[in-house]
């Protein structure tokens, strides 16, 4: 499996960044924005559906 990155964007402050799926919790777990500290499920930080799919696939392995 290739080492993938997922694109994240904060729904509150619009910060965008990328992260390795292995560094993120499960899609429905709480996650805090590193900038504004808004806490939301990880799934809400995924920029696109594709990013969410990558994260889900990673969690399923
Ligand atoms: Zn934020």
pLDDT at 2: 57
- Residues in the chain predicted with pLDDT less than 70, given as ranges, are 1-3
Q: What is the pTM of this model?
A: 0.88
| Residue 51, domain extent | 6-60
Beta strands 30-32 and 16-19 are: unpaired
In a domain, 1, yes or no: no
Secondary structure of residue 9 in the 3-state scheme = strand
Is the distance from CB of 35 to CB of 15 less than 8 angstroms? Answer: yes
Tell me the C-alpha distance between 49 and 18, whole Å.
Answer: 15
Gap from CA of 5 to ligand 1 centroid (Å): 19
In a domain, 49, yes or no: yes
In a domain, 10, yes or no: yes
Gap from CA of 10 to ligand 1 centroid (Å): 5
In a domain, 44, yes or no: yes
Angle at 45 between CA 24 and CA 32, to 5 degrees: 65
In a domain, 31, yes or no: yes
In a domain, 50, yes or no: yes
For residue 40, list its beta bridge partners: 31
Overall domain count for the chain = 1
């Amino acid at each position: 499996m290739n080492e993938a990155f997922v694109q994240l964007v904060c729904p509150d402050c619009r910060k965008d960044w990328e992260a390795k799926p292995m560094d993120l919790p499960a899609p429905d777990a709480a996650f805090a924005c590193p900038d504004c500290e808004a806490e939301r499920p990880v799934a809400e930080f995924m920029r696109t559906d594709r990013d969410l799919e990558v994260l889900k696939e990673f969690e399923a392995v």
